[in-house]
Amino acid sequence: DTAVSQTPKYLVTQMGNDKSIKCEQNLGHDTMYWYKQDSKKFLKIMFSYNNKELIINETVPNRFSPKSPDKAHLNLHINSLELGDSAVYFCASSHRADTQYFGPGTRLTVL
């Protein structure tokens, strides 16, 4: 019973392509997040989203957009992929301001 799951686990694609990463949580949480972890292991928040509010880290390019079809899902869409987008992307969820639970990550490689 995976609490926070992501697909795919690995994603290899060419520069300029558009791709999506899916995230699902079965914890009944109301808030979901996307984080980016670069090659130096540095973790940075990209988005925080609940059904009322989307908070965007101002440093995130507008090529990145979160889309939530329902409360249990928050997908990450990336347009016009660039080499610098290569990283591990983590989805997380929480109930309001409580503990955030992270998914296993998606390693994106842009060639």
Partner 1 sequence: QQQVKQSPQSLIVQKGGIPIINCAYENTAFDYFPWYQQFPGKGPALLIAIRPDVSEKKEGRFTISFNKSAKQFSLHIMDSQPGDSATYFCAARHNAGNMLTFGGGTRLMVKP
Considering only residues 7 through 36, tell me which ones interact with partner 1, judged by CB under 8 A: 31, 33
In whole angstroms, how close is the CB of 23 to partner 1 at the nearest point?
11
Helix, strand, or coil here: 85?
A: helix
Would you count residue 60 as binding partner 1 (CB under 8 A)?
Answer: no
Question: Is omega for the bond preceding 8 within 30 degrees of 0, making it cis?
Answer: yes
Determine, following the binding rule CB under 8 A, whether residue 102 of this chain makes contact with partner 1.
yes
Pattern 62-91, binding to partner 1, x per CB under 8 A?
A: ----------------------------x-
From CA 109, how far away is CA 111, in angstroms rounded? 6
Which amino acid, one-letter code, is at 76?
L
